[in-house]
Structure 1
Amino acid sequence: MAASVQQEDVDLVVICHVNRDHGAVVREALKNGKHVVVEYPLSFDVVEAEELIALSKTQTDFYTSNILKCWVGYIKL
């Protein structure tokens, strides 16, 4: 992941990573001036989430998705 957020020809990073690592990956992307879209959760830590939001306001565009995912399985007709 670190290499992709450091590439100059990358403008937008979509983060669908292991949940526990979301905060670290978002921080790295923002520090590299990328627009960021991250799936839920932004972070497991409220303080870290607040820091990331504050950082995003000084850096670039930032979006978080709070879409709940569910699996309904297959239905035999």
Structure 2
Amino acid sequence: MADSLVSNNDNQTADSDIPNIHQQTALMATALKQALEPLTMRMDEKLAIDTSTDQSGKLIVNSLNRLNKIFDDYD
């Protein structure tokens, strides 16, 4: 088995100018990750804003419900 690995390695060294598929895949993955980082950060910011807006909306609804209850009790 070791001999077959060595012979396969010898065949690849003849084409050493061509990057192997693992190097190409790693480079593509790194480039894709770097390209998506700004989008990921923006989506995280948007999620934080959406969460904050949702919480604020719930607080407003709760306050209005309490206010309505006060007015109902006053009558």
The answer to whether the superposition gives a TM-score over 0.5 is no
TM-score, normalised with respect to structure 1: 0.21
Higher relative contact order (CA 8 A, sep 6+): 1
TM-score, normalised with respect to structure 2: 0.21
More strand by share: 1
